[in-house]
Amino acid sequence: MELDFSILSKFQYALLLGLWTTLKLTVICIVLGCALGFAVGLARTSRNIVLRALSSAYVEFFRGTPVLVQLFWIFFCLPLMLGVELSNFTSGVVALTLYMGAITSETFRASLKSIGPEQFDACVALGLPRNVQVVNVVLPQAVLRAIPTLLSNCVSLFKESALVSAVGMADLMFVGQNISNNTARPVEVLSVVALIYFVIAFPLTRAVSVIEARILGKLAI
């Protein structure tokens, strides 16, 4: 077969628009998902049994079901149950934020647990009040320790976001699929789409190991 990549030049703009949607969705869900994940991570290490039970149920449920099912459920079932119309974009944000919250909460939980009890002894011996302990000692250490894994979580989200094409959101994947259907050139189009995903994700995955080495080396935490 003959490959003709020149047909893609016609669809440059559409592809960029799709990429823009993918990136927007990813970034919004990273920010919201990390915030949710930190709160849930705290709840899971909390002494309050109700908080612990609720947060565990949420995390286990979202980790134990396919993201595609979650996405369909939020797109089609949630509006029925709430009785409101949700835009495609809103539904996508809700679904991927809940997914991101579940996986980053595990990251934060592990990093919170890795702060040894002697750090708390030091806080007490220095007379640091509770709020200073959390803000100046626990939070920065938890975040620093979590950064490498969080970056991996972000890369996962970026890739998983392609699933929203299945519910009709015009992201990069969706645009690519449409072009490939219309032009009957799946090899060229889908290869380029894959390449775009890769070009963005690869530096991030590389950054994970570099950042990890720097944090671990400099701070030994």
Residues that bind other proteins (CB under 8 A): 118-119, 121-122, 124-129, 132, 136-137, 140-141, 144, 217-221
User: Which CB, 70 or 111, lies closer to other proteins?
Assistant: 111
Q: Would you say the C-alpha torsion 28, 29, 31, 32 has a positive or negative sign?
A: positive
In whole angstroms, how large is the CA radius of gyration of the chain? 21
User: Which CB, 140 or 203, lies closer to other proteins?
Assistant: 140
- Taking alpha carbons only, the member of 54, 171, 163 closest to residue 102 is 54
- Taking alpha carbons only, the member of 96, 69, 91, 61 closest to residue 78 is 91
Shortest Å distance, C-beta 27 to other proteins: 26
Residue in the block written with tokens 């996405």:
71
User: Which CB, 141 or 149, lies closer to other proteins?
Assistant: 141
Residue in the block written with tokens 């392609």:
162
User: Which CB, 50 or 125, lies closer to other proteins?
Assistant: 125
